[in-house]
Amino acid sequence: MVATIDIRNVSAVVLIATLLLGSADVASARPWRADEGNTRGWQLMSPQERIDHQARVRGFTDYRSCEVYRRQHHALMVMRAVERRLKPPDSQWDFCEHLKPSPPQRN
C-alpha cells in the first residue's frame, strides 16, 4: 500500500508552524527599558527619576518633542556631573531615532 500525501494538509501544517514560530519573537519582545548601559547619566539620577525618565521616553509619539526632551535631559546630566566633579556622560545613543519621519519615497 502506497501512502499518499495531501499537499493541502502539508501546506496548512507549514503555515501554522511558521505563524507559531514567528509569534515567539513577538511574544518575547519587551518594551525599551532604561538602564546604565543605554541611559545618559544613569548614575546621576535617583531611582524615581529613572522610572520617570523611562516612562517619558516610552510615551513619545513624535520626533521633535522627543528630541527636545533628549537634549534637555543630556544637558541636565552634564550639569550634574560637573557639579559632582564626575566625567560627563558621553553616550550618543539617540532614543528618539525610531520616531524620525521616513524620507519621501521616490518613484
Helix H segments across the chain? 7-28, 47-59, 63-83
Nearest Cα to Cα of residue 99 among 52, 58, 51: 58
pTM of the predicted structure, to 2 decimals: 0.62
Quote the cell numbers at residue 69.
526632551
28-39 confidence digits (pLDDT tens): 455 667 777 778
Pair 44, 77: CB distance under 8 Å: yes
Q: What percent of the chain has pLDDT over 70?
A: 66
The CA-based diameter of the chain, rounded to the nearest angstrom, is 85
Residues 70, 66: Cα–Cα separation, whole Å: 6
